[in-house]
Amino acid sequence: MFTWYEYENAAAAAQFLADSVAGALQQALAEKGEAVLAVSGGRSPIAFFEALSQKDLDWSKVRIGLVDERIVPTGHADSNTGLVREYLLKNKAAAATWMPMVEDGKTETELQPDEVVGFALKHYKQPDVLVLGMGGDGHTASLFPQAPQLQTAIDLAECPALVHTTPVTAPHERVSMSLGAIVGTPHIYLAIQGEEKKAVFDRAAEHASTVYPISLILHHEGADCHVFYAH
């Protein structure tokens, strides 16, 4: 299920999201002595990353990884790894431990999906906090509506924490958290912006459907999703 928060602009939403995520990480640190954060890529989270990187936390006990990643070299312009390293793993958050999905130094031809998933699983820890985005087609993480692996990725009984997916509507093969791993995270945040995204969200909020994979999280009884919407 979800809780809705609305902000006048993206800057305000990013700041309040950073406050909320820092609070959830602090709670995990207090309860367990360590915390795991998974974040999404794209250009939208940059302001949030920069705000979060300056929060006063014991970052040396925080692991940071990705919700999903494009199977490209980590130096590629489309790599989420590069984005997080540039905008989040700095300032105070530079002390955090990086949880890689794609191995550094591998070329495009060396990055075979099954091997990438295997590598990512070796470094994976179940997040305490995760931050999702949503595409205009209703995808979240790399759970795309038309991906041939979608049914496997949303199988709560059988699917591993990480899966390979092939988007039909976007470039690059992907490695992604599965639906089970996402809804098993105690603190889930979703950041969206603009009227077009809100219209998609409103349709997804009506009922659970693979047409809009984000709806499977919004309607999952065990999921606690906080939606941060910026005008």
Residue-level pLDDT at 55: 98
Question: Is 139:204 a contact under the CB 8 Å cutoff?
Answer: no
- Banded model confidence at residue 1, pLDDT cuts 50, 70, 90: confident
Residue-level pLDDT at 230: 97
Structural tokens at position 194:
């603009």
Instruction: Provide mean pLDDT across the span 4-11.
Output: 96
User: What digits encode the pLDDT tens for the residues 31-55?
Assistant: 999 999 999 998 889 999 999 999 9
User: What digits encode the pLDDT tens for the residues 157-199?
Assistant: 988 999 999 999 899 999 999 999 999 999 999 999 999 999 9
Q: Beta strand 35-39 with 129-132: parallel, antiparallel or unpaired?
A: parallel
Structural tokens at position 26:
């602090």
Across the chain, mean pLDDT equals 97
pLDDT > 90? residue 56:
yes
Q: How far is CA 55 from the centre of its chain?
A: 19
User: What digits encode the pLDDT tens for the residues 100-133?
Assistant: 999 999 999 999 999 999 999 999 999 999 999 9
pLDDT > 90? residue 81:
yes
DSSP code per residue over 9-61: SHHHHHHHHHHHHHHHHHHHHHHHS-EEEEE--SSTTHHHHHHHTTS-S-GGG
Spatial neighbors of 231 by CB under 8 A, at least 6 apart, are 6, 7, 8, 9, 193, 194, 195
Q: How far is CA 90 from the centre of its chain?
A: 19
Percentage of the residues of the chain whose pLDDT score is greater than 90: 96
Residues in the chain: 231
Question: Which SS3 state, helix, strand or coil, does residue 179 take?
Answer: helix
Domains and CATH numbers, the chain: 2-230 (3.40.50.1360)
User: What is the C-alpha to C-alpha distance for residues 129 and 29, in angstroms, rounded to an integer?
Assistant: 11
User: What is the C-alpha to C-alpha distance for residues 180 and 177, in angstroms, rounded to an integer?
Assistant: 8
